[in-house]
Structure 1
Amino acid sequence: MFDLTGRYALVTGAGHGIGAAIALALAEHGADVVVHHGHSAERAAGVVARIAGLGQRATAVQADVTDTAQVDRLVAAATEHLGGLDILVCNAGHLVGRVPIGEMSDEHFAQVTDVNLTATFRTIRAALPALRTSGSGRIITMASLAAHNGGGPGAVAYAAAKAGIIGLTKGLAKELAPDGITVNALAPGFIDGTDFHATFSTAARREATAAALPVGRGGTPAEVAAAAVYLASTEAAFVTGTTLDIDGGAAPR
């Protein structure tokens, strides 16, 4: 099951964390992968080396996903290197910073929206011609538990952007279904061992968050990656417009 042999994938934000785990998991199941990074060239090179060790083709491409010209260049480079594109994982995103709404500037709100929601839109738009040519394209977007529960302190802009990604995903699923393209979102909750939580949460807060989850622990990047492999596979051909929560039972239902 989940055989991705002969499939070509681009994963944004794949230099580390969840993105790196997704890139590696896709390669483990037979896909060739372009590893996008913004500011983590050394770690992206390490991911490429690990993919090569699995016997799959890979290369790293740097681009700023908030710049349309750079996103277009990224997708063109990926398509040229791979010879096509079947799987697009829009993982790149950022909290940017925790800012209460009363102190939030227009610039901060716009920056958070741009790097999360608008960057996802830009990347999908650029990749559409290649995904249509594929005939069985897969788009996987990255939402968040924050889209369901509003996020942690000072994360209103991030929660709004991630909720927007869910709406974008549902709308595109309808629009692109006639092209044989499925569009689904992943919504991770507390995933331990990532730069995100190490940067924006204290060790005590991380420990308390994990302990409070119904399953009693945080998730792992590999567990998010396993869901991405499923959504990228032939087995998920009838799944589109959905958001798969990977949160240990944290999301309100």
Structure 2
Amino acid sequence: MGCVWFVGAGPGDPDLITVKGRGLIEQAGAILFAGSLVDAAAARYAPAGCRVQDSKSMTLEQIADWLIAAAGECETVVRLQTGDPGLYGALIEMTRPLDAAGIPWRVVPGVTSAMAAAAAAGESLTLPEVTQTVILTRVAGRTPMPDGEGLEALAAHHSTLCIYLSATLMPEVQRALSAAGWAPDAPILVVQKASWPGRELIVRGRLDDIDQRCREAGIGAQAMIIASPALGAGGWAELTPSKLYDPAFGHRFRRAVTAESDT
């Protein structure tokens, strides 16, 4: 009986898969990948003779059956998923049938698109005395949001929002943030296909014009929306520096240096 590994392939660039994830692909006997650019990582690193299949046309039951059958034939089976398996990855829905069948499984994390989008735009999701909280969420669509997790309620914190799976619902994003008190000129960042070689697209705008800018740029699905009071901080006249690097702030690796200690 083989082990099924749920491997996060990252946001799109095959080079952003972890070293451990790549190693598992290189020794896999069977790989079930989740469409998009994940197939590029599978094709680049899979060994000769490895059984490779796309799951985009499969139901959850068919995916589970495929993984169970593959684990009966191969020592290493890889379920290769976009981003990180634990975030919008239907991980538990796929592992429950494996548990029922007595098949061992493990998870290898991956780079999620929120981090890839911030990196692409050269932004930080946190900033001292501006925001220290990052909320990963989505707008309700065919899958409803639990009570208390509507975007308007989360936006009321005025911290960083990384909004997944919602690029086609931009008017609802604008409505929710406006209702939560975000200013019309609040900066919004949208990155489509972050890290995808030759296909990444970055759009910056304000809350009141970001939908129009995205439509003009042709952005549809597979885009990350980031709303944050920290956006654009690289161009600010002044910043509050991090205490971690303040010479007057001591920790176990560095002694604090003050004007008094200098004398």
Question: What TM bracket, shorter-length normalisation?
Answer: 0.3 to 0.5
TM-score (normalizing by structure 1)? 0.36
Q: Which has the higher strand share?
A: 2
Q: Which has the larger radius of gyration?
A: 2
